[in-house]
Amino acid sequence: MNVADVLTRRAERTPHAPAVIEGDCVWSYAELDLAVWRAAAAFRRRGLAPGDVVGVTLPSNALHLVAGYALARMGAVQISLPLRESDATRAALARRFRAVSVIGPNDVDSAWLEAHGPAPDPAVRSSGEDAGWKIVTTSGTTGTPKAVLQTHAMHVVWRELNQAVVPVQPDERYLAVVPLDFFAGFRLCTDVHWAGAAAIVGETPPAVEELLETIDRQGVSYLYLTRAHLQQMLPALFADRQRLPALRRLRVGSMVVTEALRREILRRLTAHLVVAYGTNDVGSPFTVAQGETLARFPESVGFAVPGVELQVADEAGRALPPGETGMVRVRAPAMPSAYLGNPEASSKAFRGGWYYPGDLGMLSPEDALYFKGRADDLMNYDGIKIYPSEVEAVLLEHPAIAEAAAFPVRSAVHQDLPCAAVVLRQALSAEALQRYCVARLGVRAPVRVYVLKELPRNPAGKVLRRELAERARAKP
């Protein structure tokens, strides 16, 4: 099966159902599928061939979806070269993965989306299956981004798994807040199309009030947000009732959602929260927590989804019993076996049939997973192991603290000095912050707490702890 075959399948079953919405424009599945056939034929005329690596530098609009599906349909392997990155960064990525061409705003044609035009040419379709369709890069928070090759077959398995675990209904409307040049952003749209629902694309309003108004106006029933989105949204929510009670699903991932934040979401935003844990490069989700699981296992990221085997192991690769913290490892039927061109990182992450995402975790006796943070961020303070998540959870319980990130600063004497950076909602002295931390965390309290206007983040919204540590070393 080819990744783009889902559009043809939906065009045959529900040709007039809305597939993509951008502003006041709505395209049905029949229209989207036809546009993808036209674009695929145009790319073949341009000289692109199956197996070619092609860069994609497009805004988050309907033509981005058309181009992405079209490259998949005609057999090219695409890699995102985001517009938000510098020309030098995009050029370096294109060279690194030997892209033969780049699809930019001047290389797509709005006529592809017109109702009338040439009929499809079935000859442009590649069979897909075990051929690659997407080079997926990691977030790069721990250094140079790594990359894997996602095949059509892998993608199909994970889309079916997602639909079984977190089913999307055909009448739903998903608002694409995550940009399409993130793999997660494009992948979430394919989840929606797998179910025959509609994806709303276009530039997301930067102001929270405008975003909430868009959600109301468009009748959005499905959202995927990061913790950064949620923390920015909280001040604009009602204090005594849910702002989006009609939302059917609010999915969050790519970070730890503290129990304090979960309570605020459930009380002030929506009751339909889904916490998912996984990685873009291998698959998502590995675990899911929703409904009763959120109530029974607070602070957990839920249970392994069907088809995914999950363990917590020690440094020697031995599975650890419940209650002990170690390295998370997973095994799934549709995951890559190595990073592209990076044997050193591959040998560390892919071992004995397991994938080690570099995360720390602990299993409950019932096998619920508790995420403890990145292994690289674990702090060893005079022999005391301190997890960033435990420090951040305590800090975020304080009503004056809007955001928090704990991080280690290397020390010749103590090995690691536990530190933290916070963004405040209201004034609070450094002394009061320190007293609060010591009272709640004792010897695990950060030795320094820095107050910032904002936390440094990468484009995916993940906190750059290395940058925080560098700032702390420069200004102790």
Q: Where are the domains of the chain?
A: 5-363, 378-474
Q: What pLDDT score was predicted for residue 149?
A: 95
Q: What pLDDT score was predicted for residue 139?
A: 65
Say what the alpha-carbon torsion angle 132, 62, 159, 365 is, to the nearest 10 degrees: 110
pLDDT in tens, 287-299: 999 999 999 998 8
Bridge partners (DSSP) of residue 371 are: 361
**pLDDT band, very low/low/confident/very high, at 88 (cuts 50, 70, 90):** very high
User: Three-class SS of residue 363?
Assistant: strand
Q: What pLDDT score was predicted for residue 179?
A: 92
Distance between CA atoms of 268 and 126, rounded to whole angstroms?
47
**pLDDT band, very low/low/confident/very high, at 141 (cuts 50, 70, 90):** very low
**pLDDT band, very low/low/confident/very high, at 447 (cuts 50, 70, 90):** very high
Residue 429 has pLDDT above 90, yes or no: no
Q: Which residues make Cβ contacts (< 8 Å) with residue 116, sequence separation at least 6?
A: none
Tokens of 51: 């197996």
Do the two domains 5-363 and 378-474 of this chain adopt the same fold?
A: no
Q: What pLDDT score was predicted for residue 190?
A: 95
Q: What pLDDT score was predicted for residue 256?
A: 62
Centroid of chain to Cα 270 = 20
Sheet architecture: strand order including 53-56: 101-103, 53-56, 77-80, 132-137, 147-151
Say what percent of the chain tops pLDDT 70: 98
Q: What pLDDT score was predicted for residue 473?
A: 85
Tokens of 401: 């603290």
Task: Over range 31-55, report the average pLDDT.
Answer: 96
Distance between CA atoms of 226 and 237, rounded to whole angstroms?
16
pLDDT in tens, 189-212: 999 999 999 999 998 888 899 999
**pLDDT band, very low/low/confident/very high, at 143 (cuts 50, 70, 90):** low
Lowest mean pLDDT: which of 149-153, 213-217, 243-247, 373-377?
373-377
pLDDT in tens, 58-74: 999 999 999 999 999 99
Lowest mean pLDDT: which of 73-87, 285-299, 410-424, 462-476?
462-476
CB burial string 433-447: b at 16+ within 10 A, e below: beebbeebbeebbbb
pLDDT in tens, 102-111: 999 999 999 9
pLDDT in tens, 379-418: 989 888 898 888 988 998 898 998 899 999 998 888 899 9
Average confidence score pLDDT of the chain: 91
Tokens of 409: 């600063």
H/E stretch holding 45 reads: helix 29-45
**pLDDT band, very low/low/confident/very high, at 140 (cuts 50, 70, 90):** low
- What amino acid is encoded at 452 in this protein? L
- What amino acid is encoded at 337 in this protein? S
Q: Which ranges constitute the DSSP H helices of 177-226?
A: 183-195, 208-218
47 and 25 Cβ atoms separated by less than 8 Å: no
Q: Which ranges constitute the DSSP H helices of 75-149?
A: 87-96
Q: Which CATH code is given to the segment(s) 378-474?
A: 3.30.300.30
Cβ atoms within 10 A of the Cβ of 50, count? Answer: 15
327 and 369 Cβ atoms separated by less than 8 Å: no
Q: Which ranges constitute the DSSP H helices of 314-407?
A: 343-349, 388-396
Q: Which residue has the higher pLDDT, 328 or 260?
A: 328
User: Which CATH number fits the domain 5-363, given the four candidates 3.10.20.440, 3.40.50.720, 3.10.400.10, 3.40.50.12780?
Assistant: 3.40.50.12780
Task: Over range 323-339, report the average pLDDT.
Answer: 93
Place of tokens 């002030």: 268
pLDDT in tens, 363-376: 999 999 999 888 88
224 and 177 Cβ atoms separated by less than 8 Å: yes
In 3D, which of 61, 288, 330, 14 has the Cα closest to residue 166?
Answer: 288
Task: Over range 323-346, report the average pLDDT.
Answer: 93
Residue 95 has pLDDT above 60, yes or no: yes
